Amino acid sequence: MSDKPSVPVPPVVLVTRKLPNAVEDRLGRDYQARLNSDDALYSKDELIERAGGADAIVACHTEHLSAEVIERLPEEVKIVANFSVGFDHVDIEAAKKRGLVVTNTPDVLSDATAELTMMLMIGAARRAGEGEKLVRTGEWKDWSPAFMVGTQVTGKRLGILGMGRVGQVVARRARGFDMEIHYHDIRRLAPEAEEGAQYHETLEDMLPVCDFLSIHCNATPETTGLMNAERFALLPDGAIFVNAARGAIHVDDDLIEALQSGRLKAAGIDAYNNEPTIDPRFAELPNTFLMPHIGSATAETRDAMGFRALDNLDAFFAGDEPGDRVA
């Protein structure tokens, strides 16, 4: 009879989407990983079936872990490590009720999302979508002083809704354009963290001073539909709207009406309702600059997000508290 100690069996981890190679390599080294090499989007029934025998799930915001799905997950599943900073796709109360641990990946995507926010801001203001279309289609025929005139970003007033990690990085980047920073959040930053930004206790107080409004708050029951017709009407005429957070923050009909009427000069959008089946009117409007939800899409950031998710798994299976636990 052998006296060799038994080798612990690595936990089984279901991975719902194709992850960066370096992240999948680490998964394969440390866990029994069920990878999604085809990057197929699982239905809720497929997700539940594939989770059979798994100890953990690495999920993305494309998976909607509703109360029903969480209730139907196999008992062996003990943790959902999200490959995202947002976790509005998970029913947190249902997870807590079941005792399912949920984590996210904060901090590591702030720079990438702030970069994209500045691109959306400048692209919308300088009519980048229209200009690129003219060049690509061969419709660019002439130049004149009145041709493709947009809005200057430098020196304008920027309102930031949600002054968390991403919002603060956006503020720092915007200062490079000499923008005047205003913000609203449920909590005021410490004076040294504000770096001269002006705090507004209410969103309604901030909106009238926003030449640009950039959304960086989480999608919660309180913030869903926050930017509606009433609040769009509080912005100065010709303001520019930017959303690189979650589409649920704005009401599609009200945003589209404000763009169609000219009350809003333009919008730069990376987050939508009902992704990827978005309201087709956004694509039809000439004054929208649209991206397909790629705020964190740099190689460096996607690797860092994956490693952060795995750090949370490592801590959990070592018996420690995951650093980014949200449930």
Are the C-beta atoms of 12 and 53 separated by less than 8 Å?
yes
C-alpha to C-alpha distance for 74 and 70, rounded to whole angstroms: 9
Which one from 132, 230, 275, 284 is the annotated catalytic residue?
275
Which one from 165, 216, 293, 308 is the annotated catalytic residue?
293
Q: Which two tokens stand for residue 270?
A: 């990376």
Which one from 246, 250, 302, 308 is the annotated catalytic residue?
246
Annotation marks residue 275 as catalytic: yes
C-alpha to C-alpha distance for 272 and 307, rounded to whole angstroms: 27
User: Where do runs of H (alpha helix) occur along the chain?
Assistant: 21-30, 44-50, 67-72, 92-98, 110-125, 128-137, 165-175, 191-194, 203-206, 229-232, 252-261, 281-284, 299-317
C-alpha to C-alpha distance for 323 and 302, rounded to whole angstroms: 18
Are the C-beta atoms of 122 and 158 separated by less than 8 Å?
no
Annotation marks residue 246 as catalytic: yes
Omega before 276 within 30 of 0, i.e. cis: yes
Place of tokens 């609040």: 231
Catalytic residues: 246, 275, 293
